[in-house]
Amino acid sequence: MILTKLSKETFEKLMEFNKVASFGIWAPPNEPTPDNLNVKKSNTGDMTIFINPKLLDRLKDGVVFIALNASVHNGRKDGYNGPWAMFHSDDNGKQQDFRL
């Protein structure tokens, strides 16, 4: 299967679902430090990844992944209330999104 980048038109159509859906793309994790070796969950809540001008180059249109995430994203520590927050929790103590 050849994966092509998601078109701007498709991305704009998907915006209709941005409060209940997201993309399987996360910011890279932090580097481990002597005080924190468990960094797998770090940066999964970093929503700046969605304002990257090269975002569409990283999103592919050949795969659809469906998962249940019955969480509520009110009260994020970082105050983010924009699109695509599902599967991007900023509560590293509770979230397991990195396992997807």
State the pLDDT at residue 74.
64
Residue 19 to residue 48: CA distance in whole angstroms: 16
Total domains in the chain come to 1
State the pLDDT at residue 16.
93
State the pLDDT at residue 99.
65
Of 64, 56, 72, 62, the residue nearest 24 (C-alpha) = 64
What's the domain range around 42? 1-29+37-100
Alpha helices in the chain, H assignment, sequence order: 8-14, 55-58
Please, are residues 48 and 27 in contact by the beta-carbon 8 Å criterion?
Answer: yes
State the pLDDT at residue 21.
85
DSSP state of 10: H
State the pLDDT at residue 13.
93
Rounded to two decimals, the pTM is 0.69
Identify the segments of the chain with pLDDT beneath 50. Answer: none
